[in-house]
């Protein structure tokens, strides 16, 4: 196997790192929800102009036609600098689902718009706030004389506040669960912005007979939604790798410069061992993430789901361990709001709680394993 | 913390003046120990007190001072001599927080709350009678207090409170129909914590029951270490129990700076708040690494004879 980057990939990483640096240089403390949302949309437009919004979209549909390998590189670079654009929602999960839609019109219209940055689609699937198992689906769609109308509530919609459209899962009377495209700004749709653990915005959506378009004709919507979200999960693992990189760099620096008892604290064996644990956890996370990225290409869904769950559960566990070790090695400075470490911890927790935490994915892993026997 | 110190080392005047205000909560004390360059290596502290007649002139900076913004008194470690070992030049000094030259600056923690502070001391004049034990005798007092603090940091009450929180969360999750596999995984962790907490409580009773200097008594550092472990695990368990709802955390509701209820209520907001708050456990009152060093030093000779 060859894990070296090609020249194009290196150039891509360079582009993203420059973008992230410019975002950090311009960062201001957002005063209001509106200001935060406007800032996010502006930054997303900049990413689209760099071609990043259409990274995974086929060249015929206006994208770059690149793969999960490039997506991981981007996510890692973004994670490292803790710039959190809605990349995974808008440029990974949404196009991965839309490209499988049975409607040619939806495919053509959306994919071009996504690549250009004008269409920003957030995935609205979750209804339970206490369980990551979201198989209970209460949102419903009624056929109102040829127009589909969706009603229900969706919780914790990542990047929902700045979306132009939503992909909403709901039960369609008679045919069962499906996914629907719903444009924001319609009557009957209300969006409540919530402050996220990591400082960003999350949406709570309420639909009252809102016009919707079905994405699929058959009954395989849950499978397709699951596949698109699996792409997102692996991308989040990639972002977590970036967070861990930054923690290693920050902690290594601190161990060398902080002096106690007349020497650098990095000269104490107990702390060296804790640092070594961080390195091991980060490397194992990287291996698991690469494995899951390879598994996304699998036609066999149980194999794919198994590897993706293995990666997400491992990365959640190890990611938290790396962050906690970084705090311990930094001492009290590590638990101040002002120091960057605390923001990385909150982001790691957000990643854990997005599309399933370690416990959920361990259960899913074992369920897939058992379905084999 | 300060009560036992004054009872043990205080003069008759100091006892009379300071002790009555402690149980009635008339007086709030904060602890001026850590400095920016003196954390684990506390004895290297540099805040200087220079004698001038019947007063000390104190200059320096303390950090991570819990509740300094509410306290009206501070007990403080200051350097009064640069001779000999660093421990030999430290004095334990009491001072009023409203003295001219004392400035308190808030430090916001990662959960968004304001508990700890920086305390700047600039030409603060403290009467010499505010010394506890004697000039350059402060390290003896500091060690006595740190030992008492470690018993407090055993955090039995806090652990029990978090345990109740976790039990209620589990009930709520069961009512809300959370999947059995998830409930089981969380229950196993909770029960393991319950078991360890029972042992922790008995260790604490053995420490309290022992006479000073009893070699059979467990070291207070064990209490600190096990208490930290329980608080870290309980708060992590709560974080996981919060499930998806933990994504929406409102630090202002945690910090009491906003009347608005957090989006999923104070209880679910509290799961994330608790996790973030207790990341400090392995650091406060002597880090886990320092506690392990102490346990080794205190015990190895007891076992090493064979």
DSSP string covering B212-245: TT-TTSPPHHHHHHHHHHHHHHHHHHHHHHTGGG
Interface mutation target, options B184, B238, B248, chain A, most CBs of A under 10 Å: B248
Residue B158 has phi, psi (to 5 degrees) of: -60, -45
Per domain, the residue ranges of chain B are 2-134, 153-303
pLDDT at site A282: 98
pLDDT at site A300: 86
Q: A363 touching B, CB under 8 A?
A: yes
Report whether pLDDT(B34) > 70: yes
pLDDT at site B152: 76
Q: Considering only CB atoms, which chain A residues are within 8 Å of B282?
A: 327-328
Cβ-nearest to A261 among B41, B109, B232? B41
Tally of CA atoms within 13 A in the half-sphere of A362 that contains its CB: 14
Mean pLDDT throughout A338-366? 96
Element (H, E) at A158: strand A147-158
pLDDT at site B146: 76
Q: How far is B286 from chain A (nearest CA, A)?
A: 10
Report whether pLDDT(A156) > 80: yes
Q: How confident is the model at residue A167 (pLDDT cuts 50, 70, 90)?
A: very high
| Range of weakest confidence among A55-59, A81-85, B261-265 | B261-265
pLDDT at site A206: 98
Per DSSP, the residues of A174-194 read: TTEEEEEEEETT-TTEEEEEE
Report whether pLDDT(B217) > 80: no
C-alpha pair distances (Å), A211 with each of A47, A168, A180, A187, A258 = 30, 11, 9, 9, 59
B248 and A202: CB-CB below 8 Å?
yes
Report whether pLDDT(A168) > 90: yes
pLDDT at site A203: 97
Q: Tens of pLDDT along B42-80?
A: 999 999 999 999 999 999 999 999 999 999 999 999 999
Q: Tens of pLDDT along A8-19?
A: 999 999 999 999
* Residue intervals in chain A for CATH 2.40.110.10: 121-218
Superfamily of domain B2-134: Butyryl-CoA Dehydrogenase, subunit A, domain 2 (2.40.110.10)
Residues 6+ apart with CB under 8 A from A140: A150, A151, A152, A170, A171, A172, A173
Mean pLDDT throughout A280-302? 95
Asked if the domains at B2-134 and B153-303 fall in one CATH topology, the answer is no
How many helices (H) and strands (E) chain A has is answered by 11, 9
Report whether pLDDT(B10) > 70: yes
Report whether pLDDT(B35) > 90: yes
Q: Does domain A7-116 have CATH number 1.10.540.10?
A: yes
Q: Considering only CB atoms, which chain B residues are within 8 Å of A195?
A: 248-250
Q: What is the CATH number of domain A222-370?
A: 1.20.140.10
Interface mutation target, options B62, B247, B257, chain A, most CBs of A under 10 Å: B247
Q: How far is B235 from chain A (nearest CA, A)?
A: 13
Mean pLDDT of chain A: 95
B292 and A360: CB-CB below 8 Å?
no
Residue B12 has phi, psi (to 5 degrees) of: -60, -40
pLDDT at site B118: 96
Q: What is the CATH number of domain A121-218?
A: 2.40.110.10
Mean pLDDT throughout B241-259? 83
* Residue intervals in chain A for CATH 1.20.140.10: 222-370
pLDDT at site B257: 67
- For chain A, give the percent of residues with pLDDT over 90: 88
Q: Considering only CB atoms, which chain A residues are within 8 Å of B185?
A: 359, 362-363
Q: A340 touching B, CB under 8 A?
A: no
Could you tell me where the beta strands, DSSP code E, fall in chain B? Answer: 29-32, 48-52, 55-63, 73-79, 90-96, 102-108, 114-127, 131-132
Q: How confident is the model at residue B216 (pLDDT cuts 50, 70, 90)?
A: confident
pLDDT at site B156: 93
pLDDT at site B256: 64
Report the alpha-carbon distance of residue A22 to residue A271 in Å, rounded.
Answer: 34
Report whether pLDDT(A32) > 80: yes
Q: What is the CATH number of domain B153-303?
A: 1.20.140
Mean pLDDT of chain B: 91
Q: How far is B278 from chain A (nearest CA, A)?
A: 10
Among A272-281, A329-338, B222-231, top mean pLDDT goes to A272-281
pLDDT at site B150: 64
A193: β partners: A203
Cβ-nearest to B244 among A259, A342, A353? A353
Q: A345 touching B, CB under 8 A?
A: yes
A194 and B263: CB-CB below 8 Å?
yes
pLDDT at site B298: 86
Report the alpha-carbon distance of residue A301 to residue A317 in Å, rounded.
Answer: 24
Q: Tens of pLDDT along B251-305?
A: 777 766 677 788 898 899 999 999 999 999 999 888 999 999 989 998 888 887 6
pLDDT at site B154: 82
pLDDT at site A140: 97
B247 and A202: CB-CB below 8 Å?
yes
Report the alpha-carbon distance of residue B138 to residue A218 in Å, rounded.
Answer: 79
The single-letter DSSP state of residue A57 is S
Mean pLDDT throughout A72-80? 97
Nearest CA in chain A to B110: A337
Residue A175 has phi, psi (to 5 degrees) of: -90, -15
If phi > 0 it is left, if psi is from -120 to 50 it is alpha, else beta; for residue B289 that is: alpha
Q: A327 touching B, CB under 8 A?
A: yes
pLDDT at site A2: 81
- For chain B, give the percent of residues with pLDDT over 70: 97
Per DSSP, the residues of A108-127 read: HHHHHHHHHTS--EEEE---
pLDDT at site A215: 96
Q: How confident is the model at residue B306 (pLDDT cuts 50, 70, 90)?
A: low
């Amino acid at each position: 196997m060859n894990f070296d980057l090609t020249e194009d990939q290196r150039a891509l990483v360079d582009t993203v790192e420059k973008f992230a640096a410019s975002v950090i240089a311009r960062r201001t403390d957002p005063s209001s929800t509106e200001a935060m949302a406007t800032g996010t949309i502006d930054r997303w437009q900049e990413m689209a102009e760099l071609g990043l919004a259409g990274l995974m979209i086929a060249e015929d549909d206006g994208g770059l036609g690149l793969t999960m390998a490039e997506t991981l590189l981007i996510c890692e670079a973004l994670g490292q600098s803790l710039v959190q654009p809605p990349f995974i929602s808008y440029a990974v999960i949404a196009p991965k689902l839309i490209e499988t839609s049975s409607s040619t019109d939806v495919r053509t219209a959306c994919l071009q718009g996504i690549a250009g940055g004008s269409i920003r689609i957030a995935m609205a699937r979750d209804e339970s706030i206490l369980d990551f198992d979201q198989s209970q689906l209460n949102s419903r769609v009624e056929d109102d004389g040829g127009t589909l109308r969706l009603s229900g509530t969706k919780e914790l919609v990542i990047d929902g506040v700045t979306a132009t459209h939503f992909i909403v899962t709901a039960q369609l009377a008679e045919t069962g669960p499906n996914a629907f495209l719903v444009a924001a700004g319609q009557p009957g749709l209300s969006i409540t912005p919530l402050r996220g653990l990591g400082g960003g915005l999350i949406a709570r959506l309420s639909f009252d007979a809102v016009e919707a378009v079905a994405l699929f004709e058959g009954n395989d919507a849950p499978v397709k939604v699951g596949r698109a979200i699996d792409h997102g999960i692996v991308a989040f693992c990639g972002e977590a790798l970036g967070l861990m990189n930054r923690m290693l760099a920050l902690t290594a620096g601190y161990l060398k410069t902080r002096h106690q008892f007349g020497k650098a604290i990095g000269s104490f064996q107990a702390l060296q061992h804790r640092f070594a644990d961080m390195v091991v956890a980060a490397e194992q996370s990287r291996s698991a993430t690469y494995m899951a990225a390879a598994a996304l290409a699998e036609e066999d869904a149980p194999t794919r789901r198994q590897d993706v769950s293995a990666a997400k559960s491992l990365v959640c566990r190890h990611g938290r361990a790396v962050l906690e070790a970084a705090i311990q090695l930094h001492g009290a400075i590590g638990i101040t709001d002002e120091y960057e470490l605390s923001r990385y911890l909150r982001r790691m927790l957000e990643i854990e709680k997005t599309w399933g935490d370690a416990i959920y994915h361990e259960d899913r892993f074992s369920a897939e394993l058992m379905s084999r026997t | 913390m300060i009560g036992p110190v004054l009872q043990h080392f205080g003069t008759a005047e100091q006892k009379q003046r300071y002790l009555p205000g402690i149980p009635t909560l008339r007086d709030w004390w904060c602890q001026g120990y850590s400095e920016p360059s003196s954390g684990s290596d506390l004895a290297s502290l540099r805040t200087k007190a220079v004698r001038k007649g019947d007063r000390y002139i104190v200059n320096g900076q303390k950090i991570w001072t819990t509740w300094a913004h509410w306290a009206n008194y501070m007990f403080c470690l200051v350097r009064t001599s640069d001779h000999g070992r660093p421990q030999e030049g430290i004095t334990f000094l009491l001072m009023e927080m409203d003295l001219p030259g004392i400035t308190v600056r808030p430090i916001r923690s990662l959960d968004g709350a304001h508990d700890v502070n920086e305390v700047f001391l600039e030409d603060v004049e403290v009467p010499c009678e505010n010394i506890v034990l004697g000039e350059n005798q402060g390290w003896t007092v500091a060690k006595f207090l740190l030992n008492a603090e470690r018993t407090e940091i055993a955090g039995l009450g806090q652990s029990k409170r978090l345990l109740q929180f976790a039990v209620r969360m589990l009930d709520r999750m069961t009512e809300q129909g959370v999947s059995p596999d998830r409930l089981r995984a969380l229950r196993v962790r909770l029960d393991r914590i319950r078991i360890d907490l029972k042992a922790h409580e008995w260790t604490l009773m053995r420490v309290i029951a022992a006479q000073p200097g009893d070699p059979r008594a467990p070291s207070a550092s064990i209490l600190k270490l096990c208490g930290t472990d329980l608080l870290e695990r309980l708060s992590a368990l709560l974080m996981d129990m919060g499930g998806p709802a933990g994504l929406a955390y409102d630090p202002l509701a945690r910090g009491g700076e906003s009347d608005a209820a957090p989006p999923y209520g104070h209880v679910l907001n509290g799961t994330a708040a608790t996790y973030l708050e207790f990341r400090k456990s392995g650091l406060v009152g002597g880090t886990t690494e320092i506690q392990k060093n102490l346990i080794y030093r205190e015990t190895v000779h007891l076992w090493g004879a064979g």
